[in-house]
Amino acid sequence: MTPPIVERALALAAARGFTRSCMAEVGALLHVLAARRGILRPGEIGTGCGVGAAWIVSALAPGVAFFTAEIDPDQAAATRELFAQDEAVTVLSGDWRETLPLEAPFDFLFLDAAKQRPDLDGEATLALLTPGATIVLDDLTPGRTGTDPVRDFWLTHPDLVATELLLTPKSAAIVAVKVKA
Ligand SMILES: C[S@@+](CC[C@H](N)C(=O)[O-])C[C@H]1O[C@@H](n2cnc3c(N)ncnc32)[C@H](O)[C@@H]1O
Q: Which residues line ligand 1 (CB under 6 A)?
A: 20-22, 44, 46, 48, 51-52, 69-72, 75, 95-96, 112-114
Q: Which numbered atom of ligand 1 lies nearest the CA of 95?
A: 20
* 30-53 pLDDT, tens digit each: 999 999 999 999 999 999 999 999
C-alpha 138 to ligand 1 mean position (Å): 12
C-alpha 48 to ligand 1 mean position (Å): 5
What backbone torsions phi and psi does residue 163 show, to the nearest 5 degrees?
Answer: -145, 160
Q: Which CATH class is domain 4-178?
A: alpha beta
User: Could you write out the DSSP letters of every residue in 134-181?
Assistant: EEEEEEEPTT--S--HHHHHHHH-TTEEEEEEEEETTEEEEEEEE---
- pTM exceeding the 0.75 threshold for the entire prediction: yes
**Per-domain residue ranges for the chain?**
4-178
* 125-169 pLDDT, tens digit each: 999 999 999 999 999 999 888 999 999 999 999 999 999 999 999
Mean pLDDT calculated for residue range 106-114 = 97
Mean pLDDT calculated for residue range 12-20 = 98
Whether the per-residue pLDDT at 78 is higher than 90: the answer is yes
Length reported for the chain = 181
C-alpha 68 to ligand 1 mean position (Å): 9
C-alpha 69 to ligand 1 mean position (Å): 8
